[in-house]
Amino acid sequence: MMRQIRASQPLVNDPVLIEYINDLGNRLVKNAQDVNYSFEFFIIRNKEINAFAFFGGHVGIHSGLITLADTESELASVIGHEISHVTQRHLARRLEAQSRNQPLTTAAMISGVLLALVNPSVGMAALTTTMAASKQSSINFTRGNEQEADRVGIALLAQSGFDPQGAPDFFGKMAVKYRYTSKPPAMLLTHPVPESRIAEARVRAHGLETRPSAPSLNFALAKARIQARYESTAEENIAIFEDSIKKQNYTYKAAVNYGLALSLFENREYQAAKKILESLLSEDKNNLFYADALTDVYIKTKELDKALVMLSALNLLMPNNQVVTLNFANALVESSQYSEAEVLLQDYLLVKPGNFIAYDILTTVYEKQDKKALMHATKGEIFALLGAYSRAVDELQTGYNFTDNQPIVEKRIKARIIQFQDQEQKLKRL
C-alpha cells in the first residue's frame, strides 16, 4: 500500500518536513500502548483537510491539515488519534469482519481501503462497487472505533506533554469551518464530528491534567515552510510574510522571517534570502530548518565552501540525520566531490534503507562517475519503492550488462532481480 501511495500521491519528499513530522509523531508513539513496530509518518501535498492511518504504522497527513492547525497540540491530537486507530487494530478488525461476511478478494479490499483513506469521495464509490449492497460498504470507522480512538488519543496527548484540549479544539474548529459547506473535507467523510462527539471529547480532555504547552518554534517553521514552498506563488507569499512582519501578526518572528527568506529564494532573490537565513542561523546554530534553506542558497550563489563547512560540522554532531546527510551529499555533488558523496550516501542507506531522495542523489553520483552498473541498479531501487517492479528489473538487467566482470556487483544485482520478481509475483497473485 505504501508503494502505491508513493506512485500515485504527491508526497512531500522534503527532508526537513519529514524529519519534523516523524519527530512529532514518535513523541506520541513512545507513550502509546501496544506498539509492535516502528511508525512512519508522511505528508501529502494537498490543501484538503485529511489524515489517515493503515497497516504497519503508516500515518499520512495532508499539508492542508498542518496549516489549518493553530497549535502543535492541535496537530498532535490528529496524529495521536490516527496512532490510536493503528494500536487498537481498528482497520485490521474491520477487514477481518469484512472477510468473514463476504467473499472479497484481498486485492479488492486493499485497493478500496487505500482509495477511501487517501481520497474518500472516490474510495467510497470503489468500496460500494466492490462490496455491492452491503451495509458495511464504507470504510468509515464505526462510532465505537471513533470513540475508542478519541479516548486513547486524548490520553496519549496528555501523556506526551501536549494540551489534551487540542483534540476538541481542532475538531470543533473543523465542524464550524465546514458546517454550511456542500462539500466537507476528506477527513470529515472518514471521521464525522457531530456536536455530541466534540462535547464528549471536551469532557474527556477536562478530566485530564491540563498542560497548556508552550508555542513550538518548529511547528511555526513547518507551517511557514509549507506556505512558502507548497502554497501560493513566490510574489504572493512575500507579500503575506512581509504583511505579518509589518503588523507583528506572529507567534515567532523567526518563523515569519524564515518563510520570507524561503519565498525570496523561490523568487530568485538569493542575496536577500541569504542575509535573513545567515542571521537566523547565527542565533540558532543547529536549527536544521535554517541549515537546509541556507544550503540551497549557497549552492545558487556558488558559495559551496560555506555550505560544506556548515554541513560538515552538523554531520559530526548529527551523523545519519536525513536533513544533514542529504544536504551534505547534495553540496558534495555540486562541488564535484563524488567519492565523498558516494560513501556518505551508502553509509546512510545502510541504517535508513528505502530513502527515496538518498537513492535519487546516489543515482546522480554514479552517473557523474560513469559507474553505469551501479547507476542502473540504484534506479531500480527507486522504481521498486514505487511498486514498479517490472521497470526495476529492467534497470537491474541493464545494469548487469555493465558490470564488467565485477563478481560482487553481479551477485548483488542478480539477487535483487530475484527479489523484485518475487515481489511482483506476489502482487499478481493478490
Band of residue 276 on the pLDDT scale cut at 50, 70, 90: very high
Predicted confidence at residue 130, as pLDDT, reads: 39
Q: Is residue 334 part of a domain?
A: no
Percentage of the chain beyond pLDDT 90 is: 60
Domain ranges, residue 51: 2-206
Torsion angle (degrees, nearest 10) of CA 428, 99, 39, 352: -20
Secondary structure of residue 15 in the 3-state scheme: helix
The pLDDT assigned to 129 comes to: 39
CATH number of the domain that residue 241 is part of: 1.25.40
pLDDT at 134 over 50: no
For 224-285, where are the E strands, in sequence order?
A: none
Segment 316-326 shows an average pLDDT of: 97
Residue 125, pLDDT score:
39
Asked which of 171-175, 184-188, 341-345 is least confident by mean pLDDT, the reply is 184-188
- The string of pLDDT tens digits covering residues 27-74 is 999 998 888 888 999 999 998 888 888 878 899 999 999 999 999 999
Evaluate whether residue 162 is within a structural domain: yes
Cell of 390: 517490472
Mean pLDDT of 121-127: 40
Quick one: average pLDDT of 292-299? 98
Within this chain, do residues 42 and 182 fall inside the same structural domain, yes or no? yes
Is 326 inside a domain boundary? no
Q: 125 and 252: one domain?
A: no
Task: Give the confidence band of 175 by pLDDT, cuts at 50, 70, 90.
Answer: confident
Residue finishing a domain among 177, 206, 235? 206
206 is in an annotated binding site: no
DSSP string, 228-242: HHHSS-HHHHHHHHH
Q: Which residues are catalytic?
A: 82, 150
pTM of the predicted model, to two decimals?
0.86
pLDDT of amino acid 190 = 57
Q: Across residues 319-336, what is the average pLDDT? A: 97
Residue 224 sits in the same domain as residue 94:
no
Q: Are 63 and 12 in contact (CB under 8 A)?
A: yes
Q: What is the pLDDT of residue 204?
A: 73
CB 59 within 8 A of CB 43: no
pLDDT band at 199 (very low <50, low <70, confident <90, very high): confident
38 and 12 share a domain? yes
Q: Would you say residue 138 lies in a domain? A: yes
Give the pLDDT confidence score for residue 304 in this predicted structure. 98
Residue 146 annotated as binding site: yes
Specify the number of domains making up the chain: 2
pLDDT tens sequence across 3-35: 888 888 899 999 999 999 999 999 999 998 888
So what's the pLDDT on residue 123?
41
